[in-house]
Each structure stands twice: as C-alpha cells, then as structure tokens.
Amino acid sequence: MDLKTTTISSLQKQLAAGEVKAVDVCRAALDRVERLGDLNAFITINADSTLARAEQIDEAIERGEQLPPLSGLVIAVKDNMATKGIRTTAGSKILFNYKPPYTATAIQRLEEAGALVIGKTNCDEFAMGSSTENSAYGAVKNPWDRTRVPGGSSGGSAVAVATGMAMAALGSDTGGSIRQPASLCGVIGLKPTYGRVSRFGLIAFGSSLDQIGPFANCVEDAALILRIISGRDPQDSTSSDSPVDDYVRLINTDIRGLRVGVPREYYSDGLDSEVKDSVEAALHKMEGMGAEIIDINLPHTQYAVPVYYLIATAEASANLARYDGVRYGFRAEDATTLKEMYSRTRDLGFGAEVKRRIMLGTYALSAGYYDQYYGKAQQVRSLIQRDFETAFSQCDVIATPTAPTPAFKLNEKTSDPLEMYLSDIYTITANLAGIPGLSMPCGVTSVGLPIGIQLLGKHFDEAKLLRAAHNLERGLGFSSRPL
Amino acid sequence: MPITRADVQKIAELARLELTAEETELFTEQLSSIIQHIEKLSEVDTEAVPPMSHCNDVEGDPEYAKREDTVTPSLGQKLALENAPDSGDGYFKVPRVIGG
C-alpha cells in the first residue's frame, strides 16, 4: 500500500469495504520508516501501541461499527507536542528523557477521530531553525536530494509525509516552520489563523506567533485534518470560538472571480529565478481558471525579519526560563549551588541556536533597551498587520513564493545565523499578522527540487485559502515525488 | 551599536547561561551582526502607532478569556515529580540554597 497516494477519504472507503486493514496501513508506514531511516525523520517511533490501536479499529470494522472520520489515518507528530507517556524532546538534549503526563489537545482530537500516531518527528531544537540541522538528535535529510536540508523547523514531519512514512503529519509554525519545509519537500503545509487550533501541549517558543497545523499530500486531507483539530479549547485561552467551517465541502467551489493579490515586495532581490518563474506560471494558471490577479503592496515587508527576531526571541527567552534542571529533563552534575546548577544545566542542555536566541531575547527585554528594541518591534508589527488589512480590502487571497530558494545544501547556512533567518523572509509576516498561510508544490527545478507557492488568507478564512489551493492543485496536477 | 564581550557576559548572567569563553567570543560577534540588521527598524516612523502584543482581536470583549471558577483535579504530587532529575519525600531536590 502506498501511503503517498492514498487520501484519507479513499482510505475510509477501503477500510469500510474490507479491502484494506488498518494494521496493513500501519505496517506499510513502519516499513517505510525503517527503510528510509537514514533520512532521520523520526526521534521516537511508537510501533507497538500504534499496531495495537490499529487492531482495535479492524475489530470495530468487523463488528460493523460506525467509524470516526480519520480511522486508520497514520499520522506523524512533531516532537515539540506533548504525548502522554511517550518521550517528547522538542529536539533538545534538555528534554532527552521527558515523558509528558498529558497529551496536546490537537493530538487528542486526532486520536479521538481514529488517527494513529506512529511517532514523533525530528525538528530544530525548540522549533528554532529553518533547516532541521539544529536538532540534538542529528540533522534531517531532504528525500529529493540527501545532500540538502528539508527545511525547518518541522523538517521531520515534512519528510515523513513526502516519503509515505505517514499519510499526514502535524507541525508547528512560528515563522514558517510548517510552510517552508512543506515547500522544500514538495508537500502541502498549512499554518492556520492564530487561535484556530489550541496550543495546549505545544512546547512554547513564541507564544504570540506559534500555531499547530497539518502536513498532507493533498489539500483535501489538510482540510479534513484542520476541521478536526480546530476550535475552542478551555485549556488555551487564546484559542478562538469562531465557527469551524466544513472545509472539505467548501473547497470544491471553483475560483471564478476570486481576487488574488500579488505583492511586488515578495518578488524582488534574492528570489531564485526558477522559483519566480514557477510561481508566476501558477498565477497564470489561476488566472486561466477565472481568478483575477491584482497587484498589491505590503510596504513594511522589509522590516518583518528584524521585527520577528526581536519578538520571537523575547518571547522565547521568557518561555525557556522554565528549563532549569529542577522539574524535568536534563540536570548538570556536580554543581554546588542552585545558581550554578541552573546556569550549567542550561549551557550544557541547550544547543547553540537556542542559546543565541535566548541571549538576543534577553538583550531586547533588558533594562535600557526595552523601548528601543522590543517596544519598537511591537509597533512595527502593528504596521505589518495594517499592511495586510489594507491589502485584503482589495483581494481575497495573496499569492507569493513560500521560500526564496529551493532546498539548500546541508551546512550551507549554519555558520551565518542571519543568512539562515533570511530564508524565512516570505513566511514570517503571516505569523506577525496572525493570518493563515498555506504552501503547496507548484513545480520542480531543473535539478529536480520541489518549488512551493504560498497562499495567504484573511483571519479565519481558511475555507477560501483551501478552496484556492484545491483548485490550483487540480489545475497544476503536481505528481512528482522523491524516492 | 556594537555588542561588547562585557554585554554578552551580562546578558548571559541574566539568562542563567554559563557560557564558555569560545561561546562568549562567538556570540559577541554574531549578536553584533544581528543587532546591526535589527537597527534597520529605527528608520520606521512609529509616532502614534500602538504596540501589538498579540493577534487576538478581543480588546472589546472582556469576557473572552474568562471561565467559571470551578475546582478541577490538578496533576497531583506523584505525576508532578515523575520527571524530576532528583526528588524525595514528595519534594523536588536541588543543591543547597541557604548557608552551607
């Protein structure tokens, strides 16, 4: 069974008709995980309990029971989301042995809908990175070219879906960590509106920016998963009670008359010419399907990277204060005072990028610099959000490249943090403004690397975003695959 | 404004990070270059622009994050201590804090 080409709805039909068993789906996934182990997509595999749960689903089918909507869906979950009793490391040494006493709401909702969590995927430490090279558990490799990065920080989830190790996956996106790896690995990645999906159980990085979302091989699957994981959760006071649409039904409407905004600031210096051509061809395709292409402006785009790296690191420096060797995880030995134990635990437990960001965030919040850096960044953030409000008065969705280049080489950007930060240039604005964004494959380069197009929507207008993506997906007929 | 070694040492102290000499050296250089990029923000006119601290548009809805004040079971001592590097008698154990 090929998980890469099986959709959730076709799996449901096959299960109900007795043509396939949930256990077979699990075995197919585990087989791929084992065969492609060199990609390093997973940190922890949950084989036995997943197979046991699959057997229960098969028994329920034999008894003729009505199945929940995601029955037998083999799903991978980024290792920065809590899974009760299953090691959750966030890609960090400091949580090397942490077994959470509870499960993240998004995962719990998937499991209640019949999904099977096959394992925890590798990621940049505490989701800080754009290449999945910052993991304490080793770098993840891109299945299209093993000498290249899969993107990050949710690189393991993107690779798992791209290679059929799982039918879908969950990632988290603080500045592009779902969309950018989706683009570099040739799959669908969706960052919902801030507040659409509960963050309860998501290990916090930048709390005003973090959002959980799905990876999938087709837009319909992403829509189905989004519907299950969305909605108010009393455990997360920032989760929204805005109604959850029937996304799967709504994506089938055509896009005649849909106004697609194209911000010229996203097509400037530093954009790879093959990426530009491929995205423009996709825009042309949408126009051919009846969409109206409109030039728009997002004038504060050039300030997004500095704003993001002040706000995200300031929030991170506060969120990561809890890792002190007292309550869970790693503790440095032979410290004689409490303060020494804190400082040594944190220096030995965190990797270089995490320390760099804690330092930057602490600096931005420190006495004498708060107004100059953090306060200023919050004000410019307002201006970036206003840019989007103005733009969305002229269009329904915005289309841009997801990343300025296709997958880059392993180690290419690790020595220059600023260079790495700039690979998020097109994705971070959506997190700053809180709007939903999706990346989908729109072509491959001359050397066979996938290219992604990003679609952005208004707050809580995932339905229109997914509808545009579903139509474009059918129009493009992207069917290239790695391995 | 360039960041000095002394700045990095002070920030590390605030952040409770016992950096090695090499890390201090590296971060001095890298943070300076990142801060230099960030200085770009000073060219934006933000006079009368309110700061934005979150994306939820709930300013006009004070009831938004409220809930009934009901007692629900908490994690409990046993579970709370299960992941502790060192514990005993129902407490987290840490190096001596006072005296000694």
pLDDT tens, position by position, A102-147: 999 999 999 999 999 999 999 999 999 999 999 999 999 999 999 9
Q: B87: part of which helix (H) or strand (E)?
A: strand B87-88
Instruction: Tell me which residue of A99, A107, A105, A111 sits closest to A44, measured CA to CA.
Output: A99
- Contact status of A264 with chain B (Cβ, < 8 Å): no
Chain A hits for B53, Cβ within 8 Å: 208, 378
At residue A430's C-alpha, the angle toward residues A429 and A431, to 5°, is: 90
Residue B57 is predicted with a pLDDT of: 64
pLDDT at B60: 58
pLDDT-wise least confident of A206-220, A380-394, A403-417, B65-79: B65-79
At residue B100, does pLDDT exceed 60?
Answer: no
What is the rounded average pLDDT of the residues A1-15?
95
Nearest-CA residue of chain A relative to B51? A379
**Catalytic choice (A130, A157, A177, A439):** A177
Mean pLDDT of A346-351: 98
Asked if pLDDT for residue B58 goes beyond 90, the answer is: no
* Sequence-ordered alpha helix ranges (H) in A84-175: 105-112, 155-162
Tell me what pLDDT residue A163 has: 98
Sorting pLDDT into bands at 50, 70 and 90, what band is A1? confident
A97 interface with B at CB cutoff 8 Å: yes
Contact B92 A326 (CB under 8 A): yes
From the CB of residue A392, how many other CB atoms can be counted at a distance below 10 Å?
A: 21
What is the SS3 assignment for A430?
Answer: helix
Evaluate if residue A396 carries a pLDDT over 80. yes
Q: Is A153 a catalytic residue?
A: yes
Average pLDDT of the segment spanning A49-64 = 96
Question: What gap in Å lies between CA A170 and CA A172, rounded to an integer?
Answer: 7
* Percent of all residues in chain B with a pLDDT value above 70, rounded to a whole number: 89
Average pLDDT over every residue of A363-382: 94
Contacts of B46 in chain A (CB under 8 A): 376, 379-380, 383
Q: How many CB atoms lie within 10 A of CB B1?
A: 10
Q: Report how far residue A300's alpha carbon sits from residue B44's, in angstroms, rounded to the nearest whole number.
A: 9
Tokens of A197: 């999906």
Query: Is A78 an annotated catalytic residue?
Result: yes
Average pLDDT, chain A: 97
In tens, the pLDDT along A286-330 reads 999 999 999 999 999 999 999 999 999 999 999 999 999 999 999
Q: Which chain B residues are within 8 Å of A240, Cβ to Cβ?
A: 56
Per CB-CB distance under 8 Å, the chain A contacts of B34 are 309, 360, 417-418, 421
Residues of A in contact with B86 (CB under 8 A): 331
Residues whose CB falls within 8 Å of the CB of residue A249, separated by 6 or more in sequence, listed in order: none
Instruction: Tell me: pLDDT of A269 over 90.
Output: no
pLDDT confidence band for A201 (50 / 70 / 90)? very high
Average pLDDT, chain B: 90
Give the mean model confidence (pLDDT) for residues A440-468. 98
pLDDT for B61 equals: 67
A164 touches chain B (CB under 8 A): no
Q: Which of B15, B80, B94 has its CB closest to that of A359?
A: B15
The answer to whether B49 contacts A309, with C-beta atoms less than 8 Å apart, is no
Task: Give CA–CA dist A231/A243, Å, rounded.
Answer: 7
Summarize pLDDT for B22-32 with one digit per residue, the tens.
999 999 999 99
Q: How far is B42 from chain A (nearest CA, A)?
A: 8
Q: Does residue A158 carry a pLDDT above 90?
A: yes
Q: Of the residues A153, A183, A240, A423, which is catalytic?
A: A153
Of A324, A347, A417, the CB nearest to B30: A417
A465-476 pLDDT, tens digit each: 999 999 999 999
Q: Is the pLDDT of residue A25 over 80?
A: yes
Query: Tokens 């699990």 label which residue?
Result: A26
Using an 8 Å Cβ cutoff, are A54 and A146 in contact? Answer: no
Instruction: Tell me how far apart the alpha carbons of residues A392 and A394 are, in angstroms, rounded to a whole number.
Output: 5
Among A82, A70, A60, A162, residue whose Cα is nearest residue A116: A70
Is A413 a known active-site residue? no
pLDDT winner (highest mean) among A145-149, A242-246, B52-56: A145-149
Q: Is A337 on the interface with B (CB under 8 A)?
A: yes
Record: contact A382-B52, CB cut-off 8 A? yes
Residues of A in contact with B83 (CB under 8 A): 97-99, 101, 327-329
**Angle at the Cα of A125 (from A384 to A119), degrees rounded to 5?**
110
User: Which residue in A360, A384, A413, A429 has the most chain B C-beta atoms within 10 A of its own C-beta, making it the best mutation to test that interface?
Assistant: A360
Distance, CA of A156 to CA of A159 (rounded, Å): 5
Across the interface, whether the CB atoms of B94 and A341 are under 8 A apart is answered yes
Q: Is pLDDT above 90 for A38?
A: yes
Size of interface A-B (CB pairs under 8 A): 164
- What does the pLDDT read at residue A401? 98
Give the best residue of B14, B26, B32, B38 to mutate against chain A (max A CB count within 10 A): B38
Which of A330, A379, A432 is most worth mutating to test chain B (most B CB atoms within 10 A of its CB)?
A379
pLDDT of B62 reads 67
What's residue A245's pLDDT? 94
Give just the sign of the alpha carbon dihedral A201, A207, A208, A213.
negative
Whether A237 sits inside 8 A of B49 (CB atoms) is no
Alpha-carbon torsion (A155, A158, A162, A168), positive or negative? positive
A417 contacts in chain B (CB < 8 Å): 30, 34
Integer Cα distance of B29 and B8 in angstroms: 10
Task: Tell me which chain A residues have a C-beta less than 8 angstroms from the C-beta of B9.
Answer: none
Active-site option among A4, A21, A71, A78: A78
Asked whether residue B99 carries a pLDDT value surpassing 80, the answer given is no
Residue B57 and residue A299: Cα distance in Å, rounded?
23
| Per-residue pLDDT, A332 | 97
Contact indicator for A55, A25 with CB cutoff of 8 Å: no
Check CB contact under 8 Å for B55 and A433: yes
pLDDT of res. A153: 98
